[in-house]
Chain A
Amino acid sequence: MNEQRGGVFRRLFNPFYTMAGGAALGTGLAVILATAFLAAMSHSHVDGVLDFHSGLDAPLWVYPFEGIVNWLSMALCVWAAGAIASKSRIRAIDVFGTQALARWPMLIAVVAALLPGYTRFSEALLTIVTDSRFARNPAAFGELLAEAGVRGIDIAMFGVTAVAVLVAIVWMVALMYRAYAVACNVRGARGAASFIPALLVGWVVSKIVILAVFYGTGALGATLPEPGTPLFDVGQKGSEYASLLTSGQFDEAVAQFDDVMARDIPADRLKTLWDGVAAPLGAFVGHGAPRVEQRGAMTSVYVPCIYETGRFDVQIVFDDGGKVAGLWNKNFRDGENNRPADAGSGGEAQ
């Protein structure tokens, strides 16, 4: 059997010519565990058959769990595809073993993610995209990067890692197809036509299983909310929003308005409304514990604002996207006519 090109080329692009079955399974599982160990060092997640993401810290068990789920999802789907498309007898050990071994290029991705510049840039990116200054002025991205301490060399390392990850994923998919072709004896048009659906289904299955376990166990610091509840901690969000108001950051407060609020309440009007209530009460002392009420798609958070000589509750209404759809306090007054004013359509009198 000398039709295969030998040596290094074959080992890199078709290791299954010489290795399948139990040997491939043992080697592949060792590679998956090594990948998990290295991924944990850089907080990188292979959180799907074709996925690679970085930045989120997680318990140690998460990393090998991701690798095992990816392997099993793909192997089961390929096994099913082979049972339908192949005329040969298929050994399960060959399918599972070769699919495990096919994941070895992800080692390249997790090693590249260890570059310090990549981690620095990734973490800065996560911080910047949630910064209200970036939301108001995307052109400030460069300044925000500099503020986060990101240098040119960090951006270069990020670029190198991104290319390495892309190469690793493409290489891995090529190996997964080759593994399928050898283990199930399916090639050509029939091989491609049966492999592609198996790959897509395997990918979806892996994502569903991984996300279900993570949300179910809170492993990544989040749990699945009850149906109908907003997908963010409203009490915390309400308190943070009230802090913007009590500290006079009205521009940042207006940046979180929905479209209607933003059109009707510019920052200077919001300042007028707020100062009309807060200024007579003296110096700000602190916030009390927020109280949350849910009405349909809207969530109201009542945040006690405590001042030197008095206190009041501000009602902040969030829509299901986290935007401020209403802002209310019974003492808000329209500056011109001194009649009661509500900042928005979602509030109600206290």
Chain B
Amino acid sequence: MDQQSGPQRRLPSACPSCQNRLTVRRLECSDCGTAVEGAFALPVLLRLTAEEQEFVTRFVGASGSLKQLAKEYGCSYPTVRNRLDALIERMATLGQDAEETDNGNE
């Protein structure tokens, strides 16, 4: 399948086999073919679900206004606020996991 067309792929963050955290081993330039191999941790933002990433994108697009975001989603202010609080907690947990893994690798 042509890599430039076809169905949109989403970057997985968890192993489909054992659900453990995935790391990036190889990055490749699509222009000159240069490849870089190593062990790169996925940033926290990329480890969020698609829905969570969309929320973050919309939040930034609304200049951080929860009121604006509530209007876009068609729900109430506290519903959006609660969603943001849950996301903050999740990102803190993912960040802690990443730190523990990095400390373990050292």
Residue A230 CB within 8 A of the other chain: no
B79 touches A182 (CB 8 A): yes
Q: Which residues does chain B contribute within 8 Å of A270, judged by CB atoms?
A: none
Q: Nearest Cβ distance between residue B98 and chain A, in whole angstroms?
A: 23
| Cβ 8 A contact of A183, one of B75, B78, B83 | B78
A256: interface (CB < 8 Å) = no
Residue from B77, B83, B85 within 8 A of A94 (CB atoms): B77
Q: A20: which B residues are within 8 A, CB to CB?
A: 76-79
- Residue of A with least CB distance to B85: A88
Shortest CB-to-CB span from B50 to chain A, Å, is 12
CA distance A1 to B87 in the complex (A): 12
- Is B82 a contact of A185 with CB atoms below 8 Å? yes
Q: How far is the CA of A284 from the CA of B82 in the complex (A)?
A: 79
Contact across chains for B76 and A21 when beta carbons are under 8 A apart: yes
Cβ-based interface call for B16 (8 A): no
Assuming the contacts A87-B85, A88-B85, A185-B85, asked whether A16 and B79 have C-beta atoms less than 8 A apart, the reply is: yes
A-side interface residues, number (CB < 8 Å)? 18
List of B residues within 8 angstroms of A94 by Cβ: 76-78
Task: Report chain A residues within 8 Å CB of B80.
Answer: 1
- Contact count A vs B, C-beta below 8 Å: 47
| Bound form: Cα–Cα A289–B29 in Å | 110
- Complex CA–CA separation, A94 to B67 (angstroms): 13
A265 to chain B, nearest CB (A): 69
A6 to B76, CA, bound (A): 14
Contacts of A18 in B (CB 8 A): 74-76, 79
Query: By CB atoms of chain B within 10 A, which of A19, A20, A94 has the most?
Result: A20
Q: How far is the CB of B70 from chain A (nearest CB, A)?
A: 9
Alpha-carbon distance A18/B79, docked complex (angstroms)? 8
B81 within 8 A of A: yes
In the complex, what residues of A have CB within 8 A of residue B76's CB? Answer: 16-21, 24, 94, 182
B81 touches A21 (CB 8 A): no
Cα distance A91–B81 in the bound complex, in angstroms: 10
A21 to B78, CA, bound (A): 8
**Which residues does chain A contribute within 8 Å of B40, judged by CB atoms?**
none
* Among A1, A87, A91, A98, contact of B73 (Cβ-Cβ < 8 Å): A1
| B82 A1 Cβ-Cβ under 8 A | no
By CB atoms of chain B within 10 A, which of A21, A24, A185 has the most?
A: A185
Q: Give the chain A neighbours of B78 by CB distance below 8 A.
A: 16, 20-21, 91, 94, 98, 182-183, 185
Chain A hits for B79, CB < 8 A: 1, 16-18, 20, 182
A91→B82 CA distance, assembly (Å): 12
Q: Is the CB of A88 within 8 A of B82?
A: yes
Residues of chain A contacted by B51 (CB below 8 angstroms): 1-2
Instruction: Say how far B61's CB is from chain A's closest CB, in angstroms.
Output: 16
CB distance from B55 to the nearest CB of A (A): 8
* A21 (CB) vs chain B CBs: closest residue: B77
| Bound Cα distance from A88 to B79, whole angstroms | 12
In angstroms, Cα B76 to Cα A230, docked, is 54
8 Å CB interface, B39-96 against A = 51, 55, 73-83, 85
Can you name 28 A-B residue pairings with CB atoms under 8 Å?
A1-B51, A1-B75, A1-B79, A1-B80, A2-B51, A16-B78, A17-B76, A18-B75, A18-B79, A19-B76, A20-B76, A21-B76, A21-B77, A87-B85, A88-B81, A88-B82, A88-B85, A89-B81, A91-B77, A91-B78, A94-B76, A94-B77, A182-B76, A182-B78, A183-B78, A185-B81, A185-B82, A185-B85
In the A-B complex, the 5 residue pairs with the closest CB atoms: A20-B76, A185-B82, A94-B78, A20-B78, A88-B85
